[in-house]
């Protein structure tokens, strides 16, 4: 009798397991995600021509299947002609894995003539049952090897002029922004944004390609009534041909 009770208990347990996993059609299915432990890179700055060390350990409770590693830019979407030929760096690889643990350890050569700026380094891993590891992301700042110097913004003035660091302008009026932009090698573009502080909405976004080492900025801005009134930020971003950038934020009140 005692034995029979134990057996029916085991049968009930077995049924529960089947019920619990029958949706997957496999009572042995591995549901545990693999784990990526990334030691390098961190949120690093790397100059073109140098190597990026990729080092980490990937583990799984049962069996690893593959890892994907990629690098892509995190630029703001405004792309230009890249006159001097400094493209964004793009790289990826997929490696087939096996066993429960794999060490990744290799240097990746970063090309010299790449666009300077923010990039994402991402690593994903899969186990043999298709479970995905938690995505690992790092922010990289990559620099062009030939030009590491950002443009300069000098003598920035506005009409109406700023009072105690604050530009006050009437809704529907105009604002003029003047300044001297320069770069050690060559300018590529400037961008102007007006952002409403209360909700971070970009109400104005203007982008112009420029060239040469020096540029006199003289831009008339119409302050549109539909932006409303209140506190805003006027952001000026200047980029050189290799993607290096400089920006200045001005405080703006629209009345």
Which residue in the set 73, 147, 188, 246 belongs to the binding site for Ca ion (CB under 5 A)?
147
Q: Tell which positions 62-91 bind Ca ion, by CB under 5 A.
A: 62
Find the shortest distance in angstroms from Cβ 68 to Ca ion: 17
Nearer to Ca ion, 69 or 97 (CB): 97
Of 8-16, 104-112, 123-131, 193-201: span binding Ca ion (CB under 5 A)? 123-131
247 binds Ca ion (CB under 5 A): no
Which residue in the set 53, 57, 149, 178 belongs to the binding site for Ca ion (CB under 5 A)?
149
Number of residues binding to Ca ion, judged by CB under 5 A: 13
188 binds Ca ion (CB under 5 A): no
Three-state secondary structure of the chain: CHHHHHHHHHHHHHHHHHHHHHHHCCCCCCCCCCEEEEEECCCCEEECCCEEEEEEEEECCCCEEEEEEEEEECCCCCCCCCCCCCCCCCEEEEEECCCCEEEEEEEEECCCCCCCEEEEEEEEEEECCCCECCCEEEEEEEECCCCCCCCEEEEEEEECCCECCEEEECCCCEEEEEEEEECCCCEEEEEEEEEECCCCEEEEEEEEECCCCEEEEEEEEECCHHHCCEEEEEEEEEEECCCCEEEEEEEEEEC
Find the shortest distance in angstroms from Cβ 126 to Ca ion: 9
Q: Tell which positions 27-56 bind Ca ion, by CB under 5 A.
A: 30, 32
Find the shortest distance in angstroms from Cβ 24 to Ca ion: 13
92 binds Ca ion (CB under 5 A): no
Which residue in the set 183, 188, 235, 246 belongs to the binding site for Ca ion (CB under 5 A)?
183
Q: Which residues bind Ca ion (CB under 5 A)?
A: 30, 32, 60-62, 127, 147, 149, 183-185, 240, 244
């Amino acid at each position: 009798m005692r034995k029979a009770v134990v057996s029916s208990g085991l049968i009930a347990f077995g049924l529960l397991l089947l019920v619990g996993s029958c949706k997957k059609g496999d009572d042995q299915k591995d549901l545990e995600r693999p784990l990526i432990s990334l030691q390098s890179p961190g949120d690093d700055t790397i100059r073109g021509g140098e190597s990026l060390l990729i080092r980490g350990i990937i583990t799984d409770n049962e069996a690893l299947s593959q890892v994907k590693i990629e690098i892509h830019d995190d630029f703001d979407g405004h792309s230009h002609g890249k006159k001097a030929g400094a493209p964004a760096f793009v790289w990826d690889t997929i490696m087939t894995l096996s066993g429960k643990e794999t060490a990744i350890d290799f240097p990746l050569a970063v090309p010299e003539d790449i666009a300077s700026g923010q990039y994402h380094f991402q690593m994903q891993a899969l186990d043999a049952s298709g479970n995905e590891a938690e995505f690992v992301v790092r922010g990289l700042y990559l620099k062009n090897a030939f030009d590491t110097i950002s443009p300069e913004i000098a003598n920035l003035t506005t009409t109406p002029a700023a009072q105690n660091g604050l530009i006050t302008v009437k809704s529907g009026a105009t604002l003029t922004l003047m300044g001297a932009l320069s770069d050690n090698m060559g300018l590529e573009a400037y961008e102007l944004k007006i952002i409403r502080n209360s909700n971070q909405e970009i109400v104005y976004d203007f982008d112009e390609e420029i060239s040469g080492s020096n540029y006199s900025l003289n831009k008339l801005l119409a302050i549109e009534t539909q932006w409303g009134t209140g506190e805003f930020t006027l952001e000026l971003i200047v980029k050189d041909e290799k993607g290096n950038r400089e920006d200045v934020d001005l405080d703006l009140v629209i009345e």
